[in-house]
Structure 1
Amino acid sequence: MKITPRPRWFGVAAVAALVLAIVFSTEYRPVGSASATASQKFDPARYGAETYQSKVVPAIRQGATPLPELFAALTADEKAAGQKYGHRQGSGPYSFAVTGEGVAEEIRGNLLLLSGTGLPAQTRVSLQVGPAVNGTALRDAAGFITFGQFLNQVEYADAATALNNQMRAAVLADLKPAELVGKKITFIGAFSFVTPSVVTITPIEIRRAP
C-alpha cells in the first residue's frame, strides 16, 4: 500500500490553530497590575482615621437638627421629615444628625439613658457610651458616604465600623458615664430612625451642661 505524505500546509495550519487557541485563552494583564490591585485594597482603619475627624464630624455638626424639632417633624410626616433632615441609601431607614440635651438617668449595658430630652415620655432616648458601639448611624447621617464608593457590602460595613472605632477613641476613651448620672448633659450625634419608641444616638460629643 502506498502512503501519501500529508501536505506541508496541513502541519502549518495545525500549529497556527494551536497558537490562536493559546492567545484567546490567555488573560493578559498590564505589568504591575497585581501590585496595583493589592495597593488599592480597602483599609478600614486608614479610612476611619482619614474620614472621621476631618469629614464626618463637621458634617454631623453642620447638619444637626434639635432633637425635639426633628421628632415633631417625624411624628407629623415621617417621609417628609426624612427627605428634609435625613439621609439614606436605597430603601433603608433614614439617619439623622441631631443635637440635644437631657438628664443622664442610668447606664444600661452600653447605653446611657436620658430623660428631659423634650421627646414623649414613652420614647426611650439613650446615648451609646461603649465599650461596644453598634450601628451605621455616623456613616449614614454624614450624607456624603454612599455604597457606590466601595467595592462591596463588606467594605461598606467595615467603613461604618471604622468610623465607630474612631468615635470611641475620640469621645468615649476618657468618658466616665457613671459620673454623668444625675447630671444634665448636652450632646451631638446621629441615629437611624426605626421606631418612634426608641432613639439610640451615636454621639460625636457629650458635655456636662453649664
Structure 2
Amino acid sequence: MTSLARPRWLGLAAVLALVVAILVSTEYRSASAPSAAEAQRFDPARYGADTYRSKVVPAVQKGATPLPELFAALAADKEAAGRKYGHRQGTGPWSFAVTGEGVAGPTTGSLMQVTGTGLPAQTRVQIQVGPAINGTALRDAAGFITFGQFLNQVEFADAATALNNEMRATLLADLKPADLAGQKITFTGAFSFVTPSVVTITPIEIGKAP
C-alpha cells in the first residue's frame, strides 16, 4: 500500500467506527412508546392516591387545633394565630387543620351544617360531605405541600383537586349525612379562613361522639 493511500484508509476506518458506535448507542422506540416528557407528566390521580392517606391525613391529625381555641386566637390577632396554627401559600388566606365536635344538622347541597361547636353564635360551621368538594384547604393546611414542588399553577391546582377526590373516595363513599342528623359528632379536617362568619371544613374524619 502506498504512503498516500494509507491515510485515506485510516480516515475511512475512523468514520466506520464512529457509525458503529452511534448505531450501538442509539435507543430505538416504537411509535406507540411515550416520550420522556409524557412519562414524567404529572398524574393527579396517582398523586392523590400516594399522598392523601400516607401524608396528608397524618399531617392534619397532628396539626389539628380545637376550633374554639383557634377562633379565640383569631379574634385576638389573626396574623399571629395564622403564624402559630396555620399555613398559607404566598399571600393567600391562612389554612388551618382543626378538630371539633357538635350536633349534625341538615345537609344542603354538599354541606352539612353543624351546631354546638363552641364558636360564636354568628359563626356558621359546615362540613363538605359531597358530592362536590371544593377548595384547597387539605393541600394548604397539610403544611408540607408547596408551589415549588410542581411544574406550574395548573399542576398545583390539580394536586388540591386530587386530594379532595381521594378524600371523597375513601371517607365519604359510605357516609350517609342524613343518618347523622340530630346526633353529636366529632370531626377533624381543614379549612381556609376567609371570614369569621363561615367555617367550611373539608374533613378527613367524621364520627359519632361517644
Deviation at 1:73, TM superposition (A): 0.3
Counterpart position of 1:185: 185
Deviation at 1:174, TM superposition (A): 0.2
Deviations 1:162-197 (A, max 9, x none): 000000011100000000000000000000000000
SS of the equivalent of 2:178 reads helix
Deviations 1:14-61 (A, max 9, x none): xxxxxxxxxxxxxxxx979x8222211000000000000000000000
Distance, in Å, in 2 between the alignment partners of 1:31 and 1:146 is 36
Counterpart position of 1:15: none
Deviation at 1:96, TM superposition (A): 0.2
Counterpart position of 1:128: 128
Deviation at 1:207, TM superposition (A): 0.2
| Residue ranges of structure 2 left out of the alignment (5+ in a row) | 1-25, 29-33
Counterpart position of 2:161: 161
Distance, in Å, in 2 between the alignment partners of 1:104 and 1:38 is 46
Deviation at 1:148, TM superposition (A): 0.6
Distance, in Å, in 1 between the alignment partners of 2:121 and 2:112 is 16
Counterpart position of 1:18: none
1:38-57 matches, cutoff 5 A: 38-57=38-57
* Letter matched to residue 85 of structure 1: Y
* Letter matched to residue 166 of structure 2: Q
Deviations 1:136-165 (A, max 9, x none): 000000000000111111100000000000
| Residue ranges of structure 1 left out of the alignment (5+ in a row) | 1-29
SS of the equivalent of 1:81 reads helix
Aligned residue pairs, count: 180
For normalisation by structure 2, the TM-score amounts to 0.84
Distance, in Å, in 2 between the alignment partners of 1:82 and 1:170 is 29
Counterpart position of 1:208: 208
Counterpart position of 1:65: 65
Distance, in Å, in 1 between the alignment partners of 2:109 and 2:47 is 28
* Letter matched to residue 205 of structure 1: E
The list of structure 1 runs, each at least 4 consecutive aligned residues, that deviate by more than 4 angstroms after superposition, is: none
Distance, in Å, in 1 between the alignment partners of 2:136 and 2:196 is 18
Distance, in Å, in 2 between the alignment partners of 1:118 and 1:31 is 65
For normalisation by structure 1, the TM-score amounts to 0.84
